[in-house]
Amino acid sequence: MKFIALFLGIFEDLKKTFWFLDPNLLINTMLDWLGAYAYLGLFFIVFAETGLAVGFFLPGDSLLVVAGLFARTYPEKLNVVLVMLSFFLGSVIGDSTGYWTGRLMGKRLFNRENSRIFKPSRVAKAHAFFEKYGPKTVLLARFVPIVRTFAPLVIGAAEMPYKTFLPYSVAGGLLWISTMVLAGYFFGTMIENALGIKLQDHIEKVVIVVVFLSLLPPIIEYLKHKFGKKPESTEGAA
């Protein structure tokens, strides 16, 4: 409980300084500034978070959930179909941008010995990781904050074929966007009615829940590989 209270306190302080970390305020600001073109803002945020290494600090999962809740509460301001389309295009184009950046510049980035992020050893680890888990790592990375920002870059540098990368990127984008947005759209209202509260007034708690749920798929996948039944060796069988 102390950890949660500390997290909430830090989140509140960050919101005061970095207003764009608050997805509710971010959406309202885009609607005020861009009006009907707010969908371009939604597109760019997801594009930046998935395609630009500097976008890892932007809200991802929480923005998707809050946007779904916002579209349900204020349908005259945001259309849920256009919201999902904007997010989906941003995620796929952003993923591909990160991939080709890694593919074309990865060798130079990862050969910088003084870099704290881009190291040659990490390309080798990426190769081994993809060999072990296969292309589905592209899909799983969608659900892990920060990882989804750097995964396409590393995947491109590891030279996974684009024809293999793209279908998983599209599938991952569809699954990620639809899960998060529709969760906010359908379940948000149900929770509000059941508890008699407005989730937008408790956005920090929404963020914690969303981040926790986002981490579940890769954790489950890791545990399956770690503790799952391994095939018996046929070596020495008569």
Contact 85, 41 (CB under 8 A): no
Q: Is 142 exposed, middle or buried (0-12, 13-18, 19+ CB in 10 A)?
A: buried
Distance of CA 47 to the CA centre of its chain: 11
pTM beyond 0.85: the answer is no
Both tokens assigned to 26: 């971010």
Q: Is 31 exposed, middle or buried (0-12, 13-18, 19+ CB in 10 A)?
A: middle
Compute the distance between CA of residue 172 and CA of residue 162 in angstroms, rounded to an integer: 15
Compute the distance between CA of residue 29 and CA of residue 32 in angstroms, rounded to an integer: 5
Q: What is the pLDDT of residue 163?
A: 93
Contact 136, 168 (CB under 8 A): yes
Q: What is the pLDDT of residues 49-75, one digit of tens each?
A: 888 876 666 777 888 988 998 898 889
Q: What is the DSSP letter of 236?
A: T
> Domain map of the chain by residue range?
2-52+59-224
Q: What is the pLDDT of residues 115-126, one digit of tens each?
A: 655 555 555 555
Residue 102: other Cβ atoms inside 10 A = 27
Contact 101, 190 (CB under 8 A): no
Tokens 């569809």 belong to: 174
* Strands, E assignment, 141-210: none
Mean pLDDT for all residues in the chain: 75
Higher pLDDT, 100 or 236: 100
